Amino acid sequence: MDENNVIEELKEQEIDLVCSIPCDKARGLFFRLPEEFRHIGLTREEDGVGISAGVSLAGARPLVALQSSGLGNMLNAILSLSTTFGLPLPILASWRGGDDEVIPAQVPFNRPLPAILSAAGIPHTILSGHSTPHRIGDAIVAAFRANTPHVILVPPGLIEERECLPASPGPGITPCHPVKIAYTREWKRPVMTRFDAIETIAARVTDEVLVSNIGVPSKELYAAKDRPENFYMLGSYTQASAIGLGIATVRPDKRVIVIDGDGSLLGSSILPVIAATAPKNLTVIGLDNGVFGSTGNQPRPGCETADLRLLAMGAGFEHTWTVHDPGELESALAASAHGGPAFIHARIMPGNSNVPNIPLSPQQIRDRFMNALIDGSPGNR
């Protein structure tokens, strides 16, 4: 089969959005995907899990395409997000590490990959020289029918490709436009706890979508203002803003606010992806207490030096604020509603409030969130 057959099969399966990070063993296909589908390019593979989760929660059909080595980076996110919440995730993976592999580093993880996937309970399909594009379609159908991840392993050479050049020139080929940034760091002593900040955010929302970071932040949001439009994360560290990006991309009519954390954002590469995708309806709030709050308030690296707002500006965000108290946070929230993507760096004090666990199962969180979001879609009003 050739790349046209694969593209046609993905369209036949009504894939709405593709996230990808390329592999040179299927380079032609990876050039074609952004031309043929709504597309988000990745720099880190597990971000595709979060984005795809957001796409599914918004009622659309995602697919991730990558080199199979990236599955190693994705395993925790797949199991703690896609599997835990019962979200479909078809993954088309160019399979490295076979008998003809020339790069030694590709072998240790990729050669036993089918056994690794089986041990993790992740369904997978291995294509062969006799495979047809319909086997890709069958795997995608299985993912959406069972609400599970499903990995499609494509050995090298199975997809015939044409020679191709980049659809758009890269850096150094086109003239760059100058960017001027004047920035003075003005950090004040924080006066809010995380719960104070979350209560301030919750008090201002009406029909906006809220995505909350894992652990105590989600419990605090539930205690502050439980509502069906809240998506409470239970695992999948670093994926809050990726989920928000997926929702915001599919539902441009809804304002999406992500309550993320400093450790999560510093452990992710999602901010440049958000800036490049440029959803006008997305606001990311980085609650920065300088510690790993949900695990006991251990100091995080760079707590005195890492500047989340400057990080967002360097990633390409044009609308950014630093806030220290409820009034500043309210003002930034109001201003960020007029265009995005927007980033609010909220400097807060360490400490966890004494709130109970969320008394909802992952499936209950998923179902009521999807019902609220999809019932409120433009076609259902």
Q: Which fold, 194-380?
A: Rossmann fold (3.40.50)
Average model confidence (pLDDT) across the chain = 92
Q: pLDDT, tens digit, for every residue of 18-76?
A: 999 998 888 899 999 999 999 999 999 999 999 999 999 999 999 999 999 999 999 99
Domain ranges, ordered by start, for the chain: 3-154, 194-380
pTM of the model: 0.94
Predicted confidence at residue 170, as pLDDT, reads 57
pLDDT tier at 15 (50, 70, 90 boundaries)? very high
Q: Residue 129: pLDDT above 90?
A: no
Q: How many residues does the chain have?
A: 381
Q: What are phi and psi of 299, to 5 degrees?
A: -60, 140
Domains 3-154 and 194-380 share a fold: yes
Radius of gyration, alpha carbons of the chain: 21
Q: Collect all residues with Cβ–Cβ distance below 8 Å to 17 and sequence separation of at least 6.
A: 37, 38, 39, 40, 51, 52, 55, 60, 61, 62, 63, 246, 249, 250
Q: pLDDT, tens digit, for every residue of 221-262?
A: 999 999 999 999 998 999 999 999 999 999 999 999 999 999
Give strand ranges (E) for the chain.
17-20, 38-41, 62-67, 89-94, 124-126, 149-154, 209-212, 230-232, 256-261, 282-288, 291-292, 298-299, 319-323, 342-347
Q: Are 118 and 108 in contact (CB under 8 A)?
A: no
Q: Which two tokens stand for residue 182?
A: 């004047």
Q: Which fold, 3-154?
A: Rossmann fold (3.40.50)
Q: pLDDT, tens digit, for every residue of 199-217?
A: 999 999 999 999 999 989 9
Q: Taking the mean position of all CA atoms in its chain, how far away is CA 53?
A: 7
